[in-house]
Amino acid sequence: MSTLICGSIAFDNIMVFNGRFKDHILPEQIHILNVAFLVPQLRREFGGCAGNIAYNLKLLGGDPLIMATVGSDATPYLQRMDRLGLPRNCVTEMSEELTAQAFITTDLDDNQITAFHPGAMNFSHSNRITAATGAKLAIVAPDGRDGMMQHARELAEQHIPFIFDPGQGLPMFSGDELLDFIDKATYVAVNDYEGKMLEERTGKTLVELSKRVKALVVTRGASGSTIHVEGQQLDIPCVKAEDVVDPTGCGDAYRAGLLYGIAIGRDWRATGQLASLMGSLKIACRGGQNHAPTRDEIVSRYQREFGAKL
C-alpha cells in the first residue's frame, strides 16, 4: 500500500564552531550585531521532513511515495532516491530555484543559530494529489504554506486518510486554519511544544482536539509520547537509545513508525512502540538519514524491547 509523503526535501548544511556564542556576542551591543564565526567543521546532509520520513518508512519495508518540490541543485538528492528505491514521479523540479536548505551553526554548548532558505519548497502547491497517485494513506508534513493547505484539501476530497503534522510550519497558520486542517485530517502528530502552541492558537485543549480525529499523538522526547485515542490516553515510553548523538530527524523517524503501524493495521500501543523504537534508532546516528538498520534488525530489536513480534 503506497503511503504519500507530502513535505519538504532539503539539504542540511551543519557547521561546528569550536567556541561559545556567548563569548562573541555583547548583550549591550545586540542592536548592532556584527559577528563572524570560523567553522572548521562542515558537513552536508540529506534532510527535509518528507525525505526523512520516507527514508525511515523504507527501512521498515513500507512503500513511501514522496511528493515535494526541489531546485536545480537537487541532482545528488535525486540520485540518492534512485539508489534507495524511492520513486520520484511526484517530485517536481523548479529549474529557477534552489532546493530548500538549512544552514546550522552549533557551538560547544550545543546552542544553534539556524538560517533556512525555503527555495523550491515555496512552490509545493504545484504538485496536485489525484486518484492517479494511488496512495491509500498520507501525511502532510512541514512544507510550503499553500502546498500544505492544498494537499490537505485534496486528500480530504479523495477520501485518503492522512496525518496532519504541522511541525515547524505551525506558526504560519491561524487558529481557524489549524482547526480546518484538523477537521480534514484523520490523525494529528505534534511534539509537546507544538501541542501547547496548537492549544493557544485554536483555544482548545489537546483532549478536545483529539475528539475531532481518530488519534492525536504528542511526542515528548526522552519522556516518551502520548496517544489520545477513543477517549483514552496511551502513554508510550521512550526506547533507550544505544547512544545519544543527534536528535535531528528523530520526529520524522517516529512519524514513519506511525505510518507503518497504521498501514499494516497494528493497534495504537504497538504503533506507538514502533514509532518510539524508530526514533531511538535514529538518535544514535548523526544526520537525519545515516542510520541503516536492516528490517530484520528492527524486528529483532522490537521483540527484545516489547516482547512481541512486529
CA distances to 108, 114, 118, 130, 223 from 275, in Å = 30, 27, 28, 29, 14
Sequential pLDDT tens for the chain (310 residues):
799 999 999 999 989 899 999 998 888 888 888 889 999 989 999 999 999 999 999 999 999 999 999 999 999 999 999 999 999 999 999 999 999 998 989 888 878 888 999 999 999 999 999 998 999 999 999 999 999 999 999 999 999 999 999 999 999 999 999 999 999 999 999 999 999 999 999 999 999 999 999 999 999 998 999 999 999 999 999 999 989 888 889 999 999 999 999 999 999 999 999 999 999 999 999 899 999 999 999 999 999 999 988 8
| Angstrom distance (rounded) from CA 197 to CA 179 | 13
| Angstrom distance (rounded) from CA 227 to CA 235 | 7
Grid cell for residue 52: 526523512
Q: Where are the domains of the chain?
A: 2-9+48-97+118-306
Q: In what order do the strands lie in the sheet with 137-140?
A: 91-94, 63-71, 2-6, 137-140, 162-164, 187-191, 215-219, 225-229, 232-236
Burial status of residue 47 (CB atoms within 10 A of its CB: 0-12, 13-18, 19 or more): buried
> Looking at residue 72, what is its pLDDT?
97
Task: Give the fold, CATH level 3, of 2-9+48-97+118-306.
Answer: UDP-N-acetylmuramoyl-L-alanine:D-glutamate ligase (3.40.1190)
Task: Give the contacts of 157 (CB within 8 A, at least 6 positions apart).
Answer: none
> Looking at residue 235, what is its pLDDT?
97
Helix/strand/coil for 158: coil
| Angstrom distance (rounded) from CA 57 to CA 129 | 20
| Angstrom distance (rounded) from CA 143 to CA 173 | 12
| Angstrom distance (rounded) from CA 170 to CA 136 | 25
Phi, psi of 162, deg, nearest 5: -150, 155
> Looking at residue 275, what is its pLDDT?
98
pTM of the prediction?
A: 0.94
- Residue 117's identity, in one-letter code, is H
| Angstrom distance (rounded) from CA 37 to CA 217 | 39
| Angstrom distance (rounded) from CA 37 to CA 70 | 29
Grid cell for residue 5: 509523503
Number of other residues whose CB lies within 10 A of the CB of residue 209? 20
The full 3-state SS of 242-300, as one line of letters, equals CCCCCCCCHHHHHHHHHHHHHHCCCCHHHHHHHHHHHHHHHHCCCCCCCCCCCHHHHHH
Length of the chain: 310
